[in-house]
Structure 1
Amino acid sequence: MAKPNYQFEKRQRDIAKKKKQDEKRQRKQTKDPSEEGGEPGDDAAAAPEPSTES
């Protein structure tokens, strides 16, 4: 009986993991900031402009 090739299986898992991470990174880069839905931590909400009134 042939013994299992654990290195090949591990390499395949690592390749799949790397591919998934790359796809996720690509999605984040192409995502438009206006599509985020106004998450907390938005720059406009976090830092209101100072008023110019006296």
Structure 2
Amino acid sequence: MATPNYGYEKRQKELAKKRKKEDKLREKAHRKTGTGGEGEGDASSEGNGDNASQNPPAPAQP
């Protein structure tokens, strides 16, 4: 049986923390500039750090 790779797990947790922190700072800067007044749709995907930066937002329906 293979042994767990704790170093890899730790690195993944650190990267997730870093990504989440960057997202929070980006949202804070976005709010500070005053351009995020129309709903803030990114708040729902905040907990999903893996896919948040890979999936672009869906286009608005008329």
Displacement of 1:17: 0.4
Aligned residues: 33
Give the TM-score normalised by structure 2. Answer: 0.50
Greater Cα radius of gyration, structure 1 or 2: 1
- Provide the residue aligned with 1:5 in structure 2: 5
Taking CA–CA contacts closer than 8 Å with sequence separation of 6 or more, which of the two structures ends up with the larger relative contact order?
A: 2
- Provide the residue aligned with 1:19 in structure 2: 19
Instruction: List gaps (5 residues or longer) in structure 1.
Output: 36-54
Instruction: List gaps (5 residues or longer) in structure 2.
Output: 38-62
Residue 6 of structure 2 aligns with an amino acid whose one-letter code is: Y
- Provide the residue aligned with 2:47 in structure 1: none
Give the TM-score normalised by structure 1. Answer: 0.58
Question: After the TM superposition, which parts of structure 1 deviate over 2 Å for at least 4 consecutive aligned residues?
Answer: none
